[in-house]
Structure 1
């Protein structure tokens, strides 16, 4: 998306450390369960990031760098969104756009270094060349020794007009995904010839967001399919952007529920088409509601924590500064519709409303700052769950034995009395408590109980716990790998750890784990699995004294369907327009007897998928279950014969295809 330009000044804000307040009234007790043995992904050194733009006159200034450092920002992205595809680093120019004074690459890196962060640099694909990008790598890492590790090849190139919408500059004659991938591969080769140690990212579409799923005329597949097939083997990570929208606080905050499926689908596409494991960076994100007020802060903390738990290694908020937009009142406070973390001190068109002084942090700034208090480099996210859907719970264990719990109270009016319980961890009685409430201008820090806390309405709270006693643990096992996955079995294998231990295999069920078994070896085959089901599994080691290791990194796999069944179903995404699609369904009678009169049933995997209409049968949806009964002309399916039916499906998030189909109650093979 094209970003606005602004002029900026300087301002300094002091943080406060206060005693944690306790609201007088609260809803009935909420239970939060934390399971330290249900391990998720580990936080890297580039996790918490922001975007910087060359039209921002505060880029690289000491005031901004210090604010980023105080918020725990680890990564700064440059030179800024769509400007990246018109920006020429040697001359610090962007033909057709505005470049503020003192925003060149060296000024940017000075701010990065002062903040103690690292850079994510976008090479100009739209109006640049592979040689220009390679020379930038040489200047950065050979001449200046900046050590810039992460490089993107262009910004949102799917927005170059190929799918009908054109906001991204692209001078290449071939604007198709194949055109981008072919030239991006040349960029990667030229840049890595200068510095083989750099990591290069490739622009993808985010599952469930336009133009994901669309196949344009003349293309061999979707953007992701084509780009990954051609250039995936030559790069190191995939680039996603996410602006999930929402017209209310509740709607905007509900979008974080899409993270797990979006990342799952992206990984499926990467593995299938690139044939290798690529990291995933979400280099632009912002909320659809309350950009400067408390909903934005809650969204930022909840989204960053969810994405890190899913294994996204870098998340960059759009933007440090952006400029005033549509002014409104949100949660009792003025929202300026400004996508910046910091105020630009700009005014609306008629001058009746102006933002606060320059660089005043908006609420999402504190959402990022709270996230940095919740997780640090090397922490492993673990499962946490709340009994009240208004509470979002996240947890992370630290290498020093500490455990952190992030609690997000999305209820706009009611405080919540929370009781916490822990599995696989015994905390000391007292915890450090960080809070950020609606209308606050700083994060407050105090002390409280490790097992009970009151959450103010519309608030963020982080508990940092110490262990009750230091306990030596066996070495943590490595990440398991799933192989030979069928409808009902899977074989798990993991790297050998310390001698003399037994390995326990645990399946995650929310914040609860189900132990499948144990072994002294490093391979385990599990049976009696449910077809078409996604499983997340950890391995923990237990020594002869009964001491248990931390959980391994997880493996997630999905079982298939029976190879032999009386029916087979093939579902094809025949046509897609970004928030809807045509599903073509072939039903084959693989049995020996005719099927006379039939009903096919399947379930939507997510809450944001619905049936629109259908044909060649009578279609209905009840809850998440879709059923279709035969028409008069296709009620008989002879052995070996196939009938075709179809439907229009609608979706407002990742479009996960149904894995299971039943014909007259019999489970079919899904092809």
Structure 2
């Protein structure tokens, strides 16, 4: 979406170098606790996890210097031909009517650069002004004529931005701008392209939960963009493609946004299940654009990148891409004590403003997010498995992986711009080797990453506004039982029966609930089923199963299973909660309350909790609505007769994924949720 071809086109190579002065060390040190648990497994890193965008208006696309910089950072996927330009780009003659195309940025040049980088391509087929035949011909040229073996093809860029919802930045020549038309045409593209090469994967454009126009129902539509596309075209797609620009008015606010990732991905997977019938995880998720609005070239952007890439990959998003490799000079400001050029690029474009009073560093100078990307590339090596990591300090974020050789790599992000943090590191199911670990650190204003042996496996000091990657070897390497396969669960309102396929004879199984960085043991058994009680109604749980052999050796964890407990099947009350009119950051909600008993309920009070901290109550009617912290109380104006239903409504606000509440209590009784 964020294109700046004019800035790129006017790039000059006489840019003045900008001095970078490292931040002075802080004197205040706060002690924080970080836990890492190898028994709590998340997603495994695939071969295309770390991605970046390339754009045809960037004259540096595919050059050896840029390809090598991206390769050094561990980039394994490159997206082409660049954001919204994809919907005006015609690959045969390498033109983009209405836009600028730099010399030497054609498809073959891109592929040469991608191969030098060691990255797989992701190609955006032109939906807005192209045809299914044009896309099929591109597949034929790429995979039959040139034998490039391009696997991932997305149909369009941000096609919900075609004016159907009021905002129009994406080119779209179709008379019908609806998601219904997009889905119909996407099917035609998929059929034509897979007729050429049935092994390719087709991606559909969706919107990220919590981002506009998520949940908005357009004129003439039966559902939101995501619902319409998935319902109609879910059977023909192999992955969905989303973008995420979460905003934030300040660096501090921006750096709170990665906390939304788990809920956003959970909601998106729910949409895949509910609307596309994907109960097995067949449909993958790619995040091919993300960036910040404050501190794009300085440390806030770097901290955000490290947190977001790690968080998304841990949740099973198969590739994450920064927007962009180069983008050009924007609004210049000072952020975190250093010059920020307002440039969405990882690398400097080397250009100046109109009167040359402000110039970027020399062409291809890495900005701060590039160094964060390099640390992520080292953390998220293909084959590594993300494991649970958590901190007791909201200024410290931790991400960890277990590598195939048994090493644990731990990424620590200090989001405090002023104070260093002394961190106590605690491990569960893993004993690090004695000695000083290798630590790679990127600090505020630094020109490069510094690597050396420092601290210990149990104590580290993190500089203000820094990213540190620790590599920890195990105390000993032993042969362990194979990891159990993914479990399943049958749930009630207060419990769950968790089952998994049997492994070798003589194993004992342990079931762990993920709980920050220290998993909670729910139970152990020699069978392949465990029934767990004392769970909360309507609560989301993620569990892993590990196997222990007779020698006490522990396997790697099973793939994670996330389930939500039910509400009571036959309670004295039933509550139906609905979002009836949504505008992207707020909505009108309706709550229907039914008294299932044979006696009237007088002076009734309904209570529920918002599932997240970014949801609030604005106003309500047909009852008295109040909110304290995350708890909402709805007090009725009279009694509720036996068997009767009453309706009340409210306006709610949200600034992240809108996870609707599912657990309601009427005068102390947990209700059935309809």
Give the alignment's TM-score, normalised by structure 1. 0.96
Report the secondary structure of 1:471's partner residue: coil
Out of 445, 469, 475, the position equivalent to 2:482 is 475
* Distance of 2:557 and 2:514 partners within structure 1: 11
1:130 CA displacement:
0.9
Aligned: 1:440 with 2:446: yes
* Distance of 2:357 and 2:172 partners within structure 1: 39
1:203 CA displacement:
0.5
2:573 is aligned to 567
2:525 is aligned to 519
Aligned: 1:452 with 2:459: yes
1:659 CA displacement:
1.2
Change (3 A) 1:56 1:164: same
Conservation of the 8 A alpha-carbon contact between 1:538 and 1:554 = yes
1:14 is aligned to none
* Distance of 1:24 and 1:272 partners within structure 2: 50
Aligned: 1:301 with 2:303: no
* Distance of 1:74 and 1:97 partners within structure 2: 28
1:24 CA displacement:
7.4
Report the secondary structure of 2:140's partner residue: helix
* Distance of 1:519 and 1:23 partners within structure 2: 51
* Structure 2 counterparts to residues 412-561 of structure 1, below 5 A: 412-429=417-434, 430-448=436-454, 449-482=456-489, 484-561=490-567
* Structure 2 counterparts to residues 339-378 of structure 1, below 5 A: 339-378=344-383
* Distance of 1:587 and 1:302 partners within structure 2: 41
1:494 CA displacement:
2.5
Report the secondary structure of 2:198's partner residue: coil
2:334 is aligned to 329
* Distance of 1:360 and 1:500 partners within structure 2: 58
Conservation of the 8 A alpha-carbon contact between 1:375 and 1:404 = no
Segments of structure 1 that go 5 or more residues without pairing to the other structure are: 12-19
Report the secondary structure of 1:244's partner residue: coil
1:123 CA displacement:
0.5
2:19 is aligned to none
Out of 298, 312, 319, the position equivalent to 1:314 is 319
Figure out how many residues of one structure are paired with residues of the other and give that number. Answer: 660
CA RMSD for the aligned pairs? 1.6
1:262 CA displacement:
0.3
Conservation of the 8 A alpha-carbon contact between 1:436 and 1:461 = yes
Give the alignment's TM-score, normalised by structure 2. 0.96
2:598 is aligned to 592
Per-residue CA shift, 1:127-173, capped at 9, x if unaligned? 11111111111111111111111110100000000000010011112
Conservation of the 8 A alpha-carbon contact between 2:26 and 2:463 = no
Out of 602, 608, 615, the position equivalent to 1:602 is 608
Out of 152, 155, 158, the position equivalent to 2:157 is 155
Report the secondary structure of 1:637's partner residue: coil
Change (3 A) 1:24 1:285: closer
1:497 CA displacement:
2.8
* Distance of 2:356 and 2:226 partners within structure 1: 44
Aligned: 1:77 with 2:55: no
1:10 CA displacement:
8.0
Per-residue CA shift, 1:161-186, capped at 9, x if unaligned? 00000100111121111110111011
Aligned: 1:384 with 2:386: no
1:2 CA displacement:
4.8
1:523 CA displacement:
3.1
1:421 CA displacement:
1.4
Report the secondary structure of 2:307's partner residue: helix
Conservation of the 8 A alpha-carbon contact between 1:490 and 1:526 = yes
Conservation of the 8 A alpha-carbon contact between 1:9 and 1:57 = no
Q: Which deviates the most, 517-526 or 617-626?
A: 517-526
* Distance of 2:453 and 2:204 partners within structure 1: 44
1:124 CA displacement:
0.4
* Structure 2 counterparts to residues 1-400 of structure 1, below 5 A: 1-5=1-5, 6-7=8-9, 8=11, 25-276=27-278, 277=281, 278-400=283-405
* Distance of 1:24 and 1:578 partners within structure 2: 41
* Distance of 1:520 and 1:81 partners within structure 2: 53
2:663 is aligned to 660
Report the secondary structure of 1:475's partner residue: coil
Per-residue CA shift, 1:612-636, capped at 9, x if unaligned? 00000111111100111112xxx12
Segments of structure 2 that go 5 or more residues without pairing to the other structure are: 15-21
Conservation of the 8 A alpha-carbon contact between 1:38 and 1:383 = yes
1:493 CA displacement:
2.8
* Distance of 2:580 and 2:26 partners within structure 1: 57
2:618 is aligned to 612
Per-residue CA shift, 1:15-65, capped at 9, x if unaligned? xxxxx9995744132221111111111111111100000000100100100
Conservation of the 8 A alpha-carbon contact between 1:605 and 1:656 = yes
* Distance of 1:93 and 1:349 partners within structure 2: 27
